[in-house]
């Protein structure tokens, strides 16, 4: 994936916050995504990795334009160089941009899988969908089943089939591996790798850095609603020193094969984010500056890092 490949999705300084009524009449503002930037090119799998509650799923909804009504969005979203307006999102989702959700709960429990995968588009593409089912190794009678009758792996493939049926160029996979055995997880990730190799762009939202690194080209480390580092996947395999941000290094050390050291402290609550660097309260290298100013994104050794000192 050379730099020449077309940028499918460009996210620039995206912020998403939710209004919520807290105790009494006080309105609370939850900042799910702060000042996030990310680019996805054709042929590329970009893993967005971070602990749960870091706002990863909100990112998917924001790109597709299916955020709930109490969400406020700032910043810029571009698809193939053009702004993603709500109208354009409506036209593109399910066609050019597809979501592959995480679990069988995203299928209507009262609808047979086949009709459901066909979607509401007319004319129905039942024949093509059958081909895709076959290609994914789903037995003939799968289409007659209800979601609760699917095994985890089958459900996964049915969900993937919807993206293939749409012939989407950009695929956002939201946590596609939890609850799967290692074999199934590898198989699922291989499917996404193939999609990218066929010239699509894939955003792989996951908390399993280990697996993601195997299949992704780049890894964006997510923390408290923003990417703190975007690095070539190979850097994660090379080790702590190849990484740029203190949080990425801490995550690396938390991996089982690297010592299993948990990162001390908690992610900040979205309702009360710290001033300055979001990671500062937990950062071993913080200085006074970190607590006053938000660090800018800097290009370092072929990656991006949001830290004053990352090198």
Q: Which residues bind another protein (CB under 8 A)?
A: 61, 64, 66, 90, 93-95, 98-99, 101, 103, 105-111, 119-121, 146, 148-149, 162, 166
| Integer Cα distance of 195 and 45 in angstroms | 9
Q: With CB under 6 A as the contact rule, which of the stretches 23-31, 61-69, 118-126, 276-284 interacts with ligand SF4?
A: 276-284
**Shortest reach from residue 61's CB to another protein, in Å:** 8
Q: How many alpha carbons fall within 13 Å on the CB side of residue 203? A: 32
**Shortest reach from residue 263's CB to ligand SF4, in Å:** 12
Closest CA to 268 of 209, 226, 208: 226
Q: Which does 246 bind (CB under 5 to 8 A by kind): another protein, ligand SF4, none?
A: ligand SF4
Place of tokens 């066909």: 118
Q: Is 29 exposed, middle or buried (0-12, 13-18, 19+ CB in 10 A)?
A: middle
Closest CA to 221 of 189, 190, 187, 255: 255
Identity of the residue, 170 or 280, whose beta carbon is nearer to ligand SF4 in the bound complex? 280
| Integer Cα distance of 163 and 281 in angstroms | 40
Q: In this structure, are residues 170 and 97 in contact, taking their beta carbons and an 8 Å threshold?
A: yes
Give the one residue of 154, 209, 221, 290 binding ligand SF4; rule: CB under 6 A: 290
What tokens were used for 241? 């020193």
**Shortest reach from residue 176's CB to another protein, in Å:** 13
- If binding means CB under 6 A, how many residues of this protein chain bind ligand SF4? 12
Peptide bond into 205 cis (omega under 30): no
Q: Which does 277 bind (CB under 5 to 8 A by kind): ligand SF4, another protein, none?
A: ligand SF4
Give the one residue of 37, 277, 297, 304 binding ligand SF4; rule: CB under 6 A: 277
Find the binding residues for ligand SF4 in span 242-271 (CB under 6 A): 246
**Shortest reach from residue 308's CB to ligand SF4, in Å:** 4
Identity of the residue, 106 or 309, whose beta carbon is nearer to ligand SF4 in the bound complex? 309
| Integer Cα distance of 244 and 300 in angstroms | 8
Q: With CB under 6 A as the contact rule, which of the stretches 74-82, 159-167, 254-262, 273-281 interacts with ligand SF4?
A: 273-281
**Helix segments in 146-181, DSSP class H:** 152-166
Q: Which does 255 bind (CB under 5 to 8 A by kind): ligand SF4, another protein, none?
A: none
Place of tokens 């950062």: 283
Q: In this structure, are residues 55 and 205 in contact, taking their beta carbons and an 8 Å threshold?
A: no
Query: Which residues contact ligand SF4 (rule: CB under 6 A)?
Result: 246, 277, 279-280, 283, 285-286, 290, 295, 307-309
């Amino acid at each position: 994936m050379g730099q020449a490949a077309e940028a499918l999705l460009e996210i620039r300084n995206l912020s998403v916050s939710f209004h919520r009524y807290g105790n009494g009449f006080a309105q609370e503002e939850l900042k799910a995504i702060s000042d996030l930037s990310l680019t996805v090119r054709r042929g590329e799998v970009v893993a967005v990795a971070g602990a749960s509650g870091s706002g990863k799923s909100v990112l998917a909804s924001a790109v597709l334009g299916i955020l709930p009504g109490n969400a406020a969005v700032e910043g810029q979203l571009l698809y193939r160089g053009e702004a993603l307006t709500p109208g354009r999102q409506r036209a593109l989702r399910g066609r050019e941009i597809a979501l592959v959700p995480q679990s069988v709960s995203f299928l209507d429990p009262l609808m047979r899988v086949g009709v459901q995968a066909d979607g509401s588009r007319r004319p129905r593409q039942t024949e093509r969908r059958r081909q895709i089912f076959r290609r994914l190794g789903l037995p003939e009678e799968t289409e007659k089943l209800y979601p609760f009758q699917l095994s985890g792996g089958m459900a996964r493939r049915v969900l993937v089939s919807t993206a293939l049926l749409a012939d989407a160029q950009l695929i956002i996979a939201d946590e596609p591996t939890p609850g799967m055995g290692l074999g199934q997880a590898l198989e699922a990730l291989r499917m996404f790798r193939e999609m990218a190799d066929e010239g699509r762009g894939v955003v792989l939202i996951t908390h399993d850095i280990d697996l993601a690194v195997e299949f992704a080209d780049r890894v964006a480390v997510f923390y408290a609603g923003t990417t703190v580092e975007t690095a070539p996947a190979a850097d994660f395999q090379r080790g702590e020193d190849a990484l740029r941000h203190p949080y990425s290094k801490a995550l690396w050390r938390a991996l089982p094969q690297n010592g299993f050291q948990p990162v001390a402290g908690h992610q900040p609550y979205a309702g009360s984010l710290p001033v300055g660097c979001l990671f500062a309260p937990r950062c071993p290298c913080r200085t006074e500056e970190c607590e006053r100013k938000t660090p800018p994104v800097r290009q370092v050794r072929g990656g991006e890092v949001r830290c004053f000192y990352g090198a």
